[in-house]
Structure 1
Amino acid sequence: MDVEQLTGVDAPCFHDRSGRRYPLDGSRWRGDDGGPLAVSPLPGLAPGQIVTAERSLWRYHAALPVPFARRVSLGEGCTPMVPLDWGGLRVHFKLEWFNPTSSFKDRGVSVMMSHLAAHGADRVLEDSSGNAGAAVAAYAAAAGIRARIVVPAATSAAKILQARACGAEIELVGGARDEVADEAVRQSARIPYASHNWHPMFIQGTKTVAYEMWESLGFTAPDNVVLVAGAGSNVIACDLAFGELLAAGRIDRRPRLFVGQPEHWATIADTLNGVDGAARGARVPTIAEGASIARPVRLPEAVEAVRRSGGAACAVPEAAIHAAVRALSSRGLYAEPTSAVAAAALDHFVASGEIAADETTVVVLTGAGLKSAEAMAAVFAAAPLDHVVAPEPGGAR
């Protein structure tokens, strides 16, 4: 039965790419056409609607399709946006590792888990290379819901430990990230699927990062937002939130979205730029494991989001990711390699002249280096720290 028959055309609902509508229930995560779902357009937020006493993303609950009273929250959102010098430019870095499980995934998972819990879920399934699995495990624990996380066998041990510590059941699967997703889809026939790549409520929570930029900048939009993309959820979410604000007359233009991806996993960038990714040869592992997605579920939406903003996307070489990790750390920002792809993309677009010094630019750093200890060790083993001072002979130990 279509949502029009249940709730009326104007009620919030899911819709698929064909435009078919579905009710906002807890069991559906994709359309009858087999494609991903989105939530019907919601009104943009007015400054006076922000619940300033709420220290979480739920301060923007008027722009979210989940009742405030049913929220599952650990205090996610309200992350710092720090202005720093970056090669002579003043750039704002949005530090998403201040979220409860140390990654941006908490935003989407809070809203997704709130939706699922409100509709009676007592068990959920997720597939993840690490950060999303940790977030689902944490928020499932907060909601009193059992969680099963399917992860690549090569996932960072620290990320697996975090999910296990929150009580999740972990299944390791060999093969690439997309093969893990395929296994989760098979299991979704018997376990409710809380997928950060598929579930439309995840995008709704993720969009609050853009609302925070808007609020932090005095209710104006930045000129540029620089993002790393794997599946592209942050790209789509920023497009969604700034689109809502534009439609409501709260901003006068969309920020340009600039996207970086690891060069052998640059499906969004290659599609946007008309590049045959197969010409790069076989895919090879990247130190930015969180962005190694070969087949993004929402590829058309991510490409269109960048194009609509007037932005651009690029493939980032592995050496540039390593260099960006070191450059961020030298400024006190201990970001995981996946996050550092955004900083490398910033360098690329500044060098190309597409981002200028007199513009307001926000770079989103998605997760903490502490979550990728092995990868961080590899970066700094390749470029040893030469400023470590040895103790004086006979001195204190």
Structure 2
Amino acid sequence: MLQFICSVTGKKYPVNIPRWRSNDGHLLDLEFEAKFDLEKIKDRKPNLWRYLEALPITNENSIVSFEEGFTPLIPIDFDGKQAFIKQEQLFSTGSYKDRGATVLMSFVKELGIKKVIQDSSGNAGCAIAAYAAKANINCRIYLPADTAEAKIAQMRMYGTEIERVPGSREDTAAAALKAAGSTFYASHCYNPFFYQGTKTFAYEVCEQLGWTAPDAVVVPAGNGTLLIGCYIGFNDLLKAGIIDKLPKIIAVQAEACSPLSQAFNKSLNTYNEVPTKQTLAEGIAIATPVRGNQLLKMVLETKGKFYSVTEEEIKDSLLYCGKMGYYIEPTSAATIAGLRKYLTEQPAELVVSLFTGHGLKSTDKILKILKES
């Protein structure tokens, strides 16, 4: 049965009536059973829609796709230790957010919705805007006023309306929530269909490893869209009997904005808003993540942990990757900084991480870093 379920009360709602929260104002999760036919999967195109039976889209004609997914998984040595890296910067819009956008916007098309709004610090907005354009759906993106111009240019090229919001990332979210009273909210934080796309990261990793699970996966933790996707995806595979263990989820935050890392290190089940500073890792600079308490629970359940990384560590990892031929954005470098910390502390493990976004999205910021280096 495909239906929304309130994360607090357990009350269920049909998915064919647009909503972004429960009647009581709580977050919604999705009740859905993923199915896997490994023979069918093997014979399909190398994109994320090869897992069709595990994705909650009932009408194949509604699928909005750029043939995305199945990004390369490559071994890379970091400081003398090896990890496998998914090159998610190679997606059509330059980040892994395309995974969530293809499923969410396919759902929107399936419902016959013609206009959406979204709020973003950049990459999620780019992804929703591109897939809205592909589906001929009107789109308006609410952005912090200081969003990178390269990301804004990308969204404008897709024909998206842009609303710059003065103040913090939280001010941007508040403006979008107000608009959501009259327009469908295609939110990568609130709408659980987005996570049904990001979970394909876990499916691909396991397939590329011969249908086995890694020991650990190192992912960013801003709003946690990939972290949640990994938790759902690896659990789907475990329930289906395809893998025999859950990887540890290792979550990375920028030290300048690390409410979840601080809560985890104090053994708290709920996080508190903490003082934050500006960070190079703008994509994970989320002071009040909507699903923050869920993220803490998921990391704990997988016996994972949180790392916070300094601005110097982010810069160092950005330049380190560049010298190996990988041009990634600073937010992506934050995840790699966390990965490098994890690798120095662990015995031999099969560890997977990713390049989350392309460096071309942050040219101005990268030029400044290079000038200062």
Same fold by TM-score, threshold 0.5 exceeded? Answer: yes
2:336 corresponds to which of 343, 348, 351: 343
Q: Does 1:232 align with 2:231?
A: no
Q: Does 1:99 align with 2:94?
A: no
Please report how far the alpha carbon of residue 51 of structure 1 lies from its aligned counterpart in structure 2 after TM superposition. 5.7
Note the residue ranges of structure 2 that are not aligned, 5 or more in a row: none
Instruction: Look at both structures and tell me which one has the larger radius of gyration over its CA atoms.
Output: 1
The code of the aligned residue for 2:5 comes to: H
Name the CA shift for 1:279/1:237 in 2 (closer, same or farther; >3 Å).
closer
The code of the aligned residue for 1:256 comes to: K
Q: Does 1:381 align with 2:371?
A: yes
- Tell me the secondary structure at the aligned position of residue 162 of structure 1: helix
2:300 paired residue number: 307
1:33 paired residue number: 24
Q: Does 1:127 align with 2:116?
A: no
The residue correspondences of 1:265-276 to structure 2 (distance < 5 A) are 265-274=257-266
The code of the aligned residue for 1:366 comes to: T
Q: Does 1:214 align with 2:206?
A: yes
- Tell me the secondary structure at the aligned position of residue 286 of structure 1: coil
Per-residue CA deviation, residues 137-170 of structure 1 (Å, 9 max, x unaligned), is 1100100101001101100001000000000000
1:331 paired residue number: 324
Please report how far the alpha carbon of residue 33 of structure 1 lies from its aligned counterpart in structure 2 after TM superposition. 2.4
Q: Does 1:188 align with 2:188?
A: no
Name the CA shift for 1:359/1:275 in 2 (closer, same or farther; >3 Å).
closer
Per-residue CA deviation, residues 213-255 of structure 1 (Å, 9 max, x unaligned), is 0110000001110111110111111011101111111111001
Q: Does 1:60 align with 2:86?
A: no
The code of the aligned residue for 2:105 comes to: M
Q: Does 1:71 align with 2:63?
A: yes
- Tell me the secondary structure at the aligned position of residue 334 of structure 1: coil
2:310 paired residue number: 317
How many residue pairs were aligned? 369
Please report how far the alpha carbon of residue 55 of structure 1 lies from its aligned counterpart in structure 2 after TM superposition. 3.1
What is the TM-score of this pair, normalised by structure 2?
A: 0.95
The code of the aligned residue for 2:232 comes to: L
The code of the aligned residue for 2:53 comes to: A
Please report how far the alpha carbon of residue 91 of structure 1 lies from its aligned counterpart in structure 2 after TM superposition. 1.1
The residue correspondences of 1:142-291 to structure 2 (distance < 5 A) are 142-274=134-266, 282-291=275-284
Inter-partner Cα distance in structure 1 for 2:133 and 2:146: 25
- Tell me the secondary structure at the aligned position of residue 92 of structure 1: strand
The code of the aligned residue for 1:86 comes to: F
- Tell me the secondary structure at the aligned position of residue 258 of structure 1: strand
- Tell me the secondary structure at the aligned position of residue 265 of structure 1: coil
1:370 paired residue number: 360
What is the TM-score of this pair, normalised by structure 1?
A: 0.90
Q: How high is the sequence identity, in percent, across the aligned residues?
A: 39
> Is the 1:26–1:121 Cα contact (8 Å) retained in structure 2?
no
The code of the aligned residue for 1:235 comes to: L
Q: Which moved more, 1:146-155 or 1:23-32?
A: 23-32
> Is the 1:47–1:219 Cα contact (8 Å) retained in structure 2?
no
Q: Which moved more, 1:224-233 or 1:20-29?
A: 20-29
- Tell me the secondary structure at the aligned position of residue 300 of structure 2: helix
1:111 corresponds to which of 103, 114, 134: 103
> Is the 1:51–1:60 Cα contact (8 Å) retained in structure 2?
no
Inter-partner Cα distance in structure 1 for 2:260 and 2:25: 20
Inter-partner Cα distance in structure 1 for 2:40 and 2:82: 30
Inter-partner Cα distance in structure 2 for 1:257 and 1:111: 23
- Tell me the secondary structure at the aligned position of residue 209 of structure 1: helix
The code of the aligned residue for 1:365 comes to: F
Per-residue CA deviation, residues 243-277 of structure 1 (Å, 9 max, x unaligned), is 11111111110011111101121122222222798
Please report how far the alpha carbon of residue 46 of structure 1 lies from its aligned counterpart in structure 2 after TM superposition. 4.1
Please report how far the alpha carbon of residue 328 of structure 1 lies from its aligned counterpart in structure 2 after TM superposition. 1.1
2:288 paired residue number: 295
The code of the aligned residue for 2:19 comes to: R
Name the CA shift for 1:32/1:80 in 2 (closer, same or farther; >3 Å).
same
2:41 corresponds to which of 45, 50, 74: 50
Q: Does 1:80 align with 2:72?
A: yes
Inter-partner Cα distance in structure 2 for 1:179 and 1:273: 27
> Is the 2:120–2:141 Cα contact (8 Å) retained in structure 1?
yes
Name the CA shift for 1:46/1:312 in 2 (closer, same or farther; >3 Å).
farther
Please report how far the alpha carbon of residue 378 of structure 1 lies from its aligned counterpart in structure 2 after TM superposition. 2.1
Inter-partner Cα distance in structure 2 for 1:109 and 1:279: 28
Inter-partner Cα distance in structure 1 for 2:333 and 2:16: 37
The residue correspondences of 1:353-368 to structure 2 (distance < 5 A) are 353=345, 355-356=346-347, 358-368=348-358
Q: Displaced runs of 4+ in structure 1, greater than 6 A?
A: 275-280
Please report how far the alpha carbon of residue 82 of structure 1 lies from its aligned counterpart in structure 2 after TM superposition. 1.2
Note the residue ranges of structure 1 that are not aligned, 5 or more in a row: 1-10, 384-397
Please report how far the alpha carbon of residue 84 of structure 1 lies from its aligned counterpart in structure 2 after TM superposition. 1.3
Please report how far the alpha carbon of residue 284 of structure 1 lies from its aligned counterpart in structure 2 after TM superposition. 1.3
